[in-house]
Amino acid sequence: MRKPYIAGNWKMHKTRVEARDDAADLVQQVKGVDHRVMIAPAFTSLGVVAEVVKGSNVILGAQNMAAAEEGAHTGEISPLMLKECGVETVILGHSERRHVYGETDQLINTKVKLALQHGFEVILCIGETLEEREAEQAEAVVKEQLSAGLLDVKSDQLEKVVIAYEPVWAIGTGKTATPEDADAIHKVVRDEVENLYDHKAAEQMIIQYGGSVKPKNIASLMDKENIDGALVGGASLKTETFVPIVKFK
Ligand code: PGA
């Protein structure tokens, strides 16, 4: 049984005070919910949010992580620093990191392995651009990003890996993939996990959908066999929209 997993990516929003207050509100409202719930605030808010979510069912995530433990990496945040803040999960390979900041599959793979080595859960984001979808390359692109991202990840580390399928054209645009289209790619991803590992690993893999997830479309997405959760950007910023997504049924 794959437990539904709803994650909120707050991106570059909220000051520390706003993040603390919104996280406190969320903790109250999702008490007792039997789905996994995660929020990833900006690095500067991790400390205050960690205090608020402590002892609750809300998991603390980071939006990115450096590919090294320490050194001359101006502007980067190391796994040791994230761990000290109480982070349990790291989002890696988000399309904004890939396409705006030029992160390659190879760099993302280094981060994935380092994060797993430090005991973090990893949400590995993959997804095609509009041009790639129109050129009928969506399946090939996600398979390549998946196998490159998981290169040299051992099967006994997979229980700490979550995949987020986020078609780039659906992120922040209000265009959601139809549940059928999303499910079809999720199936491709699951089959590729089987191909790279085995049937059991594929059956257990949590695959989130991301890209304009809203309270009104979450139930139909979650209804699909291969969609196990959501990675939510815009709609995670307000408790009024995030809580109904978390409690989609
Ligand atoms: P969105 O973002 O929900 O605002 O489309 C999703 C994401 O980038 O993870």
pTM for this model (two decimals): 0.97
Closest CA to 155 of 187, 119, 199: 199
What's residue 184's pLDDT?
97
Segment 2-19 mean pLDDT: 98
For the cut 90, the answer to whether the pLDDT of residue 149 exceeds it is: yes
| pLDDT surpasses 90 at 176 | no
Residue 214, pLDDT above cutoff 90: yes
Query: Which residues, judged by CB distance below 6 Å to any ligand atom, belong to the binding site of ligand 1?
Result: 9, 166, 171-172, 210-213, 231-235
Short-list 50, 58, 84, CA closest to 69: 84
Are the C-beta atoms of 9 and 94 separated by less than 8 Å?
A: yes
- Protein residue closest via CA to atom 9 of ligand 1: 233
Q: Whose CA is nearest to atom 2 of ligand 1?
A: 233
- Candidate list 103, 128, 139, 166, residue with the active-site label: 166
Residues 6+ positions from 168 with CB-CB distance below 8 Å: 95, 99, 127, 128, 129, 130
pLDDT digits (tens, 9 = 90+) for 48-60: 999 999 999 999 9
Say what percent of the chain tops pLDDT 90: 95
pLDDT above 90 (res 228): yes
Catalytic residue check, 144: no
Q: Phi and psi at residue 230, in whole multiples of 5°?
A: -145, 145
Residues 6+ positions from 62 with CB-CB distance below 8 Å: 40, 43, 46, 77, 82, 85, 87, 89, 90, 91
Atom of ligand 1 nearest to the CA of 125: 9
In this model, does residue 172 exceed pLDDT 90? no
Per-residue pLDDT at 121 exceeds 90: yes
Amino acid at 39: I
Q: Mind listing the domains of the chain with CATH numbers?
A: 5-246 (3.20.20.70)
Q: Is the pLDDT of residue 175 over 90?
A: no
Question: Is the per-residue pLDDT at 177 higher than 90?
Answer: no
Q: Which residue has the tokens 């199936």?
A: 187
Q: Is 94 a catalytic residue?
A: yes
Decide the pairing of beta strands 89-92 and 5-9: unpaired
Find out whether 57 and 97 touch, Cβ atoms under 8 Å.
no
Overall residue count recorded for the chain in this entry: 249
